[in-house]
Amino acid sequence: MKFLCVDCDRQMTFEERQLPGDGTLAVAFKCPGCGRVIALLTNPFETQLVSSLGVVIGGRTVPEQPLEMVRGMVATGKEDAFVEGRERGAASGPVWSREAQERLARVPNFVRGMVKKIYADYARERGIAEVTTAVMDAARAELGLEGM
Ligand SMILES: [Zn+2]
């Protein structure tokens, strides 16, 4: 992950990194030309995603955290890697409303399968037969998945 100062056309250098302990990751980058500093702040879920992918931030890798499924899915690149029971008959999975499917389609490809599984699991655990945008909103609020 690198940042470019558009004004100076120079690559910004890693300034500092903070891991407050609640899973939030803050990284600062500074332009060596004009001194502009920008900070990257991620929520716990995003931090875990970045960590699990082994992305090096500021020259060092964030401590490894268990989220192997993301790495596995990215490696295969299969969007439906987490659609369960596809071969065994998908009768157990929840139905997706049209609006929910459209919203899911806006999720970036490489995490869509995982996001879909998170919502499907959320619905299944609560006995919800259809994933609607309202269900997605509730799941997001409850699981802290803002922006997904
Ligand atoms: Zn600059």
Q: Is the pLDDT of residue 84 over 70?
A: no
Ligand 1 mean position to 147 CA, how many Å?
A: 29
Answer for the pair 92, 124: CB distance below 8 angstroms, yes or no: yes
Residues composing the chain: 148
Answer for the pair 17, 45: CB distance below 8 angstroms, yes or no: no
pLDDT in tens, 93-110: 789 999 999 988 888 777
Q: Is the pTM of this model over 0.85?
A: no
pLDDT in tens, 45-76: 666 666 655 555 554 455 544 444 454 445 44
Average of per-residue pLDDT values in the chain? 73
Ligand 1 mean position to 27 CA, how many Å?
A: 17
Answer for the pair 132, 99: CB distance below 8 angstroms, yes or no: yes
* Distance from C-alpha of 74 to C-alpha of 53, rounded to nearest angstrom: 8
- Give the pLDDT score at 1: 64
* Distance from C-alpha of 14 to C-alpha of 58, rounded to nearest angstrom: 5
Ligand 1 mean position to 53 CA, how many Å?
A: 29
